[in-house]
Amino acid sequence: MTTGGTQDAEHAIKASLEAARWAPSVHNTQPWSFAVSGDEISLRADPDRKLRASDTAGRELLISCGAALFNIRTALRGEGYEPVVRVLPDPDRPSLLATVRLAPAPAVDDQARELAREFERRRTHRAGFANLPVPAALIASLARHAAEEGAELTVIASSEAVRVLAALTQAAQVVQSQDRRFSLDVIRWARPPGSTRADGVPAGAYPRQEVAGDPDFPQREYAWRHDWGGPAQGGPTTTGLVALLTTGGDERAEWIAAGQALQSVLLRAAAHGVSAAFHTQALEMFHLREFLRQELCSGRYPQMIMRLGVALDDKEAVRRPLGDMLA
């Protein structure tokens, strides 16, 4: 199958799978696999890569896979195809999260092609941000695009609410750091310096000595009992803009939608030089997440807590080869 002026379907499928590799995932677990049959791609969850204590329901796994699905869709549009997506197409196969069939498109989607340039350039940030503003017009645009994917992106304007979010993140981090099960989830995906692993969080992807923000949103203890990490970011730093990504429901389909919305936001932010730092500790503890839902989210379900800002450093990123992800 071909479309006028574009490369053939086989090339487009490979390009979309290469794009999916670069989606963000919790602890860079890359919890997905793919299968191709003719002009159809299957996206599957890899349960062996699920966090055993932090993500027992698989919510974060499905958000990660949703981000990969968004990359597939975007890459196909940039190659001149229209992705026909079925989410959770077979109730008897819960690991099959989506199928994507290639359909002819009238033309290459130039906006999708521009967005595709950010697949490999986007980075997760794990420190403070440079003291530079994030344009209000960009935030409004990101919120519109999140809504298109079925989620709501809300920047927390109230300093009191930001402090509540920071305090809950701090509390969750302290509790989890004292819980061996949660600690093992982090340790399992922390890569020591010089590691040749193609998954997990590289030692240079976070500062050796974290500088507390005001208010402070602590990072995961990837260097637990080790002197790992890169140099601290130079110059003054700021917390950045604190934002919540929420959905109206809290089932598997909404988790996948949240992942697609998240990646739509992240790629468009990256195109404007804006990065994101994620803080999911409080969302991994039922009572804290429920408190957030009722007190700060107007009954909507919080799927991601993030900070947005300008990061002046360029951290290492690693991904498994595509061959390891093909079923």
pLDDT of residue 223: 80
DSSP 234: P
Q: What are phi and psi of 194, to 5 degrees?
A: 80, 0
Strands 237-238 and 40-45, bridge-based pairing: unpaired
DSSP element (H, E) containing 146: helix 136-148
pLDDT of residue 43: 98
pLDDT of residue 234: 61
Cα distance from N-terminal residue to C-terminal residue, the chain = 23
Task: Outline which parts of the chain fall under CATH 3.40.109.10.
Answer: 9-122, 129-309
3-state secondary structure of 184: helix
Fold of 9-122: NADH Oxidase (3.40.109)
Check: CATH 3.20.20.70 for 129-309? Answer: no
pLDDT of residue 2: 40
DSSP 204: G
| pLDDT in 10s for each residue of the chain, 327 residues | 344 444 589 999 999 999 999 999 999 999 999 999 999 999 999 999 999 999 999 999 999 999 999 999 999 999 999 999 999 999 999 999 999 999 999 999 999 999 999 999 999 999 999 999 999 999 999 999 999 999 999 999 999 999 999 999 999 999 999 999 999 999 999 999 999 999 999 988 887 777 778 899 999 988 877 778 777 666 678 999 999 999 999 999 999 999 999 999 999 999 999 999 999 999 999 999 999 999 999 999 999 999 999 998 777 889 999 999 998
Cβ partners under 8 Å of residue 219, min gap 6: 126, 127, 206, 210, 277
pLDDT of residue 4: 44
In this prediction the pTM is 0.95
pLDDT of residue 208: 74
Q: What is the largest CA-CA distance in the chain?
A: 59
Instruction: Return the amino acid letter for 54.
Output: S
CA dist 102 and 15 (Å) reads: 13
Angstrom CA distances, 148 to 38, 141, 257, stand at 29, 11, 10
Place of tokens 């990660």: 64
